[in-house]
Chains A and B, each alone.
Chain A
Amino acid sequence: MLKLLVVDDLPALRQHIINLVKEKVVKDVEVQEAPNGAEGLKLFKSFRPDMIIMDIVMPEMSGIKAAQAIWAEHPRTKILFWSQFHREAYVRELGKIVPDDAIHGYALKGESDEKLIYALTSIMLHDNPYIDPQVRGVQTRLQSKDNSLSDVEYETLLDITLGLTDKAIASRRHISVRGVQNRLSMLSAKLFRGEDIYLKESAGMEVYNPRTRIVLEGLKRGLIDTDKIPELDTELDEWIADEFDYEKSPAR
């Protein structure tokens, strides 16, 4: 049975999200509650939940401090931060402390229940990181005929088109390395519908490089607008300069 820990200082909000999980996400779930980070940390040690829903601002110990302590002990714990703060700084800061193996998310209080359910489902059931697009300033989606990809999967597609490694994508998008890998496998599952796996099994070897194949598929389907690539590349240079303090030497 799935174990869920809800840490929030407002009992009404805890109840609301617990009901939501039980009604809309997983029926069979064992829940415990804590009113602040310190209590949450204590409960975590005895209860060992699979998933934590964590408020950020609480008396005694903030959600960020508690998460750091929990991840230090158990880096695979899934945590959905549930906060009222819209600033990207929070997501960036959490991106810095998330372990490579953790799946985490950032959902906003005051947004619709549907969004919250989506966030809960993607983290609890699909191991996919979720960060509210309002906070993250999501990549504006190019016009495409294909709506099968979600915004974040689309974003990951562009990131691998630009040639970024898992680690670089993780740091750019403020998620964990495992989160990136899960997004990638979701992406190939959607694009190839398992065909790549059949091919690998019957050939007995990896025939295609999966990343390149994903990019090719994206191009074939018109998901990647080649005219926009210089623009995306400039954006990437911006991020590299900002993140690593590395200025590309001007083109000769």
Chain B
Amino acid sequence: MPSVRTLGLVVRTVDVFETSLIMTAFTRDLGKVSGLAKGARRLKSPMQGGLDLLGVSDIVLLHKASDALDLVTEAVPVERFASLRRDLAALYAGYYIAELLSDLTDFHDPHPRLFDAATVTLRHLGEPLLRSRRVLRFELACLRELGLMPVLDACAHCGVEVEAEGDSFAFGLATGGVLCPSCRTGQPHVATLSGRTLGAIRALASPGNAWRDPELGPGSLGAVRATLGAVISHHLGRRPRLLPFLGA
């Protein structure tokens, strides 16, 4: 049975038996993995607290050839995010990131950039002024990495450049982006976005510093939150459990 070592962010744990747990981690090199950590809840466990939720650990997995769960043989804590233990809003945002990584990604499908985006976001959740923007940026990074990013610059159906009707754009949740007036008819789950909201989503998705622009006020961020929440709910097939806990 070959063993593999990788950095992983623990996104889910379930207690099993008296002292063991099943952990799910989003790892940098292997993507999402699950494994049984025998005796991990014992005081003198070799896991040394390395399987605490939302912590980055150096994890060693023993791969099972059969359908049985992999075994976690070692987990050494590498990074803890202190703000999650000091600030309830930061903790809820962290749980939301864990939910997205756990439920939107597939097993053994690595996305190193998504792993890096998650750790950078978790590291900065203690900054209340930029917290909601960082979470929105992470959601967009997550959608982009997983190939689910909504099309924002052209019609998601026919590809032509989309112009606003007045100040509003049609946004197809099922189609995956903005829609031109001729494609809008007959499309299911179409929302209407203001030009300001669409501009805010573009700014938040862009690589520069436009996402820090103070012009993106709470009004437009609230609309972006609702839109991205709807997009993610569409891909998950349900509303994320943590969505009601997030502020605008």
Are A and B bound to each other? no
Report B's interface with A, CB cutoff 8 A: none
Report A's interface with B, CB cutoff 8 A: none
